[in-house]
Structure 1
Amino acid sequence: MTERDVAASALWCVGPQHAELREADLGEGVLVETLYSGISRGTERLVFGGAVPESEFVRMRGPAQEGDFPFPVKYGYSAVGAVAEGERTGQLVFALHPHQTSFRLPEHMLTPLPDALPAERAVLAANMETALNILWDSNAGAGDRIGIVGAGVVGALVGYLAAKLPGSEVTLVDTNQDRAALAHTLGCHFASPADALESCDVVVHTSASQAGLHTALALAGQEATVVEASWHGSALVEVPLGGAFHSKRLKLVSSQVGQLPTSRTPRWNHARRLTTALELLRDPILDTLITGESTLSQLPGEYGTILNDPATLCHRVAYPTS
């Protein structure tokens, strides 16, 4: 047993809006020394605030979660590290794991990074995997006019992928005008919710707000699909099903990364999807989605600010190397 086997430290949410570093169980399997982890702002904000509904306590468990909802709980799912033992020593891998200095996981849960993908950018893998699943659920195709309401990390990545569909016209819609530059960098147009957009073939909602969902439904054209990709936790959201909702014959579809679309399951599994997500991150332009970095030791004091700052996209956590 190494020193790390008895001294791993992790971020724990221990009460509403309160986090601290505590010792953590390493688990079983291959030892990995963490280099970076990524904060998934939307989901982790709900966990940090104790807003995970009791009905979702089991479904929301992360693969390496320790503790139980609501508190205390060790939560997170975007870690990049180096294998520290065995034949794979030194290999860079991605794992669905909370913010922790080192950990053990079964070998099949460690996905090697592709060549030319730096560990610093690989923390976006879980978000890219979600974006890929959303695009599949939307059934967006070549030439479609696509609106994405909410230019956070997931929304921006959906836009990035959708903009690569031949002939597509993709617009990121956000209340934050500063996201216009991000949209253009990713090959998308930008609009505020008040801007008039032509009727869209597909609309994706990722803002996790009631107002954003209303905007998404308003942008949808006749018989268009609206994908609700936000998770609202325990919040109750009013959905405007009056007005033109029925006459336009809109389709409101949920998307959640925990399960692949049924049309993909004959050929795809979670491992293939994650491998593909990592390959899609090889584009250096995606570094623009990393908007800040803290060390793990700084994280307890900064966590609330990071999660509640609307300017935050992906905030990266760095770990000291021995």
Structure 2
Amino acid sequence: MADLTIDVDALTAIDVHTHAEVSKDGHGSLSPELFGASEEYFKAHGHRQPTIDEMAAYYRERSMAAVVFTVDAEHATGWPRISNEEVAESCAEHPDVLIPFASIDPHKGKAGVREARRLVDQYGVRGFKFHPSIQGFAPNDPIAYPLYEAIEELGVPALFHTGQTGIGAGVPGGGGIRLKYSNPMLVDDVAVDFPELRIILAHPSFPWQDEALAVANHKPYVYIDLSGWSPKYFPPQLVRYANSLLKDKVLFGSDYPVITPDRWLADFAKLEIKPEVRPKILKDNAARLLGLSKENA
């Protein structure tokens, strides 16, 4: 696995949830219809899709590191993905601030398993992103289990989108995207069947916030990232658990570029989070989970 050169002590935060939205040749991560729906949902009309080089400059300027990924949903959407190799190679040009994750459609079967192993061994990928609603699979479907097994053996995290998604919102039929696949309770089965797999439940999991809290509280290697929502809209029970039972398992994430870390952090500063918990959420928990600190997750 390629070495990162991230100086954790010099960082103000680690953003565990950012998107590579455009490839070097201009190919977008979503079809125009789904991308437009996402812009409308996040009130991010006309937001510019930054290149990975631009993302690196943005985070370096803020003394932050960022996890970067795209979503491979070719089977369900017919839209070609951005290459995992391109994402990893671009991040490798900025090892002081960018941490590459990959995304593999579980429908790819054995080919996906081989790709996962190659991406970690040869490209330095540090984790994998799943978006069950867009990829069109239930997280506990056995079709994905060979891929989880490989990820568990490789010792890197799996990040699952949970809750409602802005992708397809407002499009007739939701663009074919089924919200039920992003219920955190489906990921609970994965945590049971792969007990050493580190799992991140992405986003406040509307309308299943209590389910997400229960899974993270019950399963020792399940974490929650706080991306995709402004902190001023966080459910009170999420804030309560972040301040107490889950203080070592909650992670800062923005969902950049649709939500910027500047906006997220400004709203987070207004939350009643204990002073000793803030650095855990902003940096320490992620550093441990991602193997950037001496203490292992």
Alignment TM class, shorter chain as reference? 0.3 to 0.5
Larger Rg belongs to: 1
Q: Please identify which structure carries the higher helix content.
A: 2
| TM-score normalised over the length of structure 1 | 0.32
| TM-score normalised over the length of structure 2 | 0.34
Q: Please identify which structure carries the higher strand content.
A: 1
